[in-house]
């Protein structure tokens, strides 16, 4: 019997053709993410699902789909490296493997992190607005001046694949790398980056720019809470291209207004696509709509990797890119 695969998001044509060769597909054409109710209605009866990072793969959805009599759910192949939308305790208990897309979006996300870092520290968006609204009347010595990256200290919270790729780029800008991370970092990477390890409190106190590259888990949720944000160096900048839930975004405006922060660059939010009103009106925050990995090449590779996993599974071959914790 051919497996049935639920494809709840638009995938590139060549990816669909590869899937059609091995499975019967149920395509969902709506653009907005499905609600949990919709997933509960539409996922059961499929052996595999290819969700995006905003699709609710909750315990209830997973349990209901895996209890389906004819085609219980057997594989989730997510088109993202982050999998915090998937209840991993439930997939473990139900024995449903989860594939994702590690590695492929490292360089694109690191590029976007640098772009956001530059936009924030050099006030690029604010300067563009200033010019367009007719405020530019003359050149002056301190007009829209910001932080010089050369010689500044970059604190990296999470020195994994993306954190390391950001560090390599930042070194080319003359930044000094400090980091805090769970687990070991290979010696040769630390040597190459001339990076220095710090505790989180030290990192907060010493970094001119802090960039976040940790996964969102129970232990990292709000790792940058009010206390942490207020413990940052005076005049520091914060950049987050990882997950919104790592930072308590409700206190960011206060940390800019009354605390040490000089600027913030965000690509991710706790409850996307909603962005707290306290952030939207501010010139000292650059806000992007979660486009870290959004190059044509990378987004195609992400879809293709998720499809690789489903095709291999349908052919009874070892499933590549499985998430392992």
- Which CB, 39 or 83, lies closer to ligand DGY? 83
Please give the structure tokens belonging to residue 77: 């192949």
Give, in degrees to the nearest 5, the angle at Cα 15 between 315 and 85: 85
Chain centroid to Cα 256, Å, comes to: 23
CB of 241 to ligand DGY, least distance (A): 8
CB of 254 to ligand DGY, least distance (A): 26
CB of 322 to ligand DGY, least distance (A): 15
Of 243, 249, 301, 321, the catalytic one is 243
In the 8-state DSSP scheme, what is residue 251?
G
- Which CB, 53 or 170, lies closer to ligand DGY? 53
- Which CB, 102 or 146, lies closer to ligand DGY? 102
234 Rama sector, left if φ>0, alpha if ψ -120 to 50, beta otherwise: beta
Please give the structure tokens belonging to residue 185: 């970092």
Q: Are 214 and 242 in contact (CB under 8 A)?
A: yes
Q: Catalytic site residue 213?
A: no
Helices in 177-281 by DSSP H: which ranges? 187-193, 200-206, 226-230, 252-257, 277-280
Q: Are 248 and 229 in contact (CB under 8 A)?
A: yes
Strand partners of residue 265:
239, 286
Residues near ligand DGY, by CB under 6 A: 53, 80-82, 101, 105, 292-293
Q: Catalytic site residue 272?
A: yes
CB of 268 to ligand DGY, least distance (A): 7
In angstroms, the CA 86 to CA 63 distance is 12
φ, ψ at 251 (rounded to 5°): -110, 5
Helices in 140-264 by DSSP H: which ranges? 161-172, 187-193, 200-206, 226-230, 252-257
- Which CB, 71 or 290, lies closer to ligand DGY? 290
Query: Closest residue (Cβ) to ligand DGY?
Result: 82
Of 10, 38, 196, 272, the catalytic one is 272
Burial class, 30, CB count within 10 angstroms (exposed 0-12 / middle 13-18 / buried 19+)? exposed
- Which CB, 45 or 82, lies closer to ligand DGY? 82
Residue 23, classed as helix, strand or coil, is coil
- Which CB, 53 or 236, lies closer to ligand DGY? 53
CB of 165 to ligand DGY, least distance (A): 14
DSSP per-residue codes, 186-210: -HHHHHHHT-EE--HHHHHHH-SEE
CB of 105 to ligand DGY, least distance (A): 5
Q: Catalytic site residue 243?
A: yes
CB of 174 to ligand DGY, least distance (A): 28
- Which CB, 193 or 246, lies closer to ligand DGY? 246
- How many residues can be counted in the chain? 325
φ, ψ at 212 (rounded to 5°): -105, 125
- Active centre residues (catalytic): 243, 272, 290
């Amino acid at each position: 019997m051919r497996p049935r695969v639920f494809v709840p998001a638009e995938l590139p044509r060549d990816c669909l053709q590869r899937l059609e060769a091995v499975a019967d597909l149920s395509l969902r054409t709506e653009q907005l993410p499905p609600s949990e109710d919709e997933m509960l209605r539409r996922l059961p009866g499929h052996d595999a699902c290819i969700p995006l990072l905003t699709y609710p793969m909750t315990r209830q959805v997973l349990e209901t789909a895996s209890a389906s009599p004819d085609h219980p759910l057997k594989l989730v192949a997510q088109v993202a490296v982050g999998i915090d939308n998937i209840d991993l305790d439930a997939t473990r208990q139900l024995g449903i493997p989860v594939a994702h897309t590690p590695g492929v979006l490292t360089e694109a996300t690191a590029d976007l992190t640098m772009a956001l870092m530059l936009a924030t520290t050099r006030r690029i968006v604010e300067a563009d607005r200033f010019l367009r609204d007719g405020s530019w009347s003359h050149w002056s010595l301190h007009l829209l001046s910001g932080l010089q990256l050369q010689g500044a200290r970059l604190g990296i919270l999470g020195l994994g694949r993306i954190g390391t790729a950001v560090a390599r780029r930042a070194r080319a800008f003359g930044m000094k790398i400090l980091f805090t991370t769970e687990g070991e970092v290979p010696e040769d990477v630390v040597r190459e980056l001339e990076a220095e390890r710090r505790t989180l409190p030290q990192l907060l106190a010493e970094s001119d720019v802090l960039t976040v590259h940790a996964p969102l888990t129970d232990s990292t949720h709000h790792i940058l809470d009010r206390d942490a944000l207020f413990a940052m160096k005076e005049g520091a900048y914060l950049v987050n291209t990882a997950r919104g839930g790592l930072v308590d975004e409700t206190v960011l405006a206060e940390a800019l207004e009354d605390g040490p922060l000089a600027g913030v660059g965000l690509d991710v939010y706790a409850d996307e696509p909603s962005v707290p009103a306290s952030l939207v009106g501010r010139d000292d925050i650059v806000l992007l709509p979660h486009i870290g990995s959004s190059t044509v090449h990378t987004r195609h590779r992400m879809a293709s990797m998720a499809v690789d996993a489903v095709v291999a599974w349908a052919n009874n071959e070892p499933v590549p890119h499985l998430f392992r914790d």
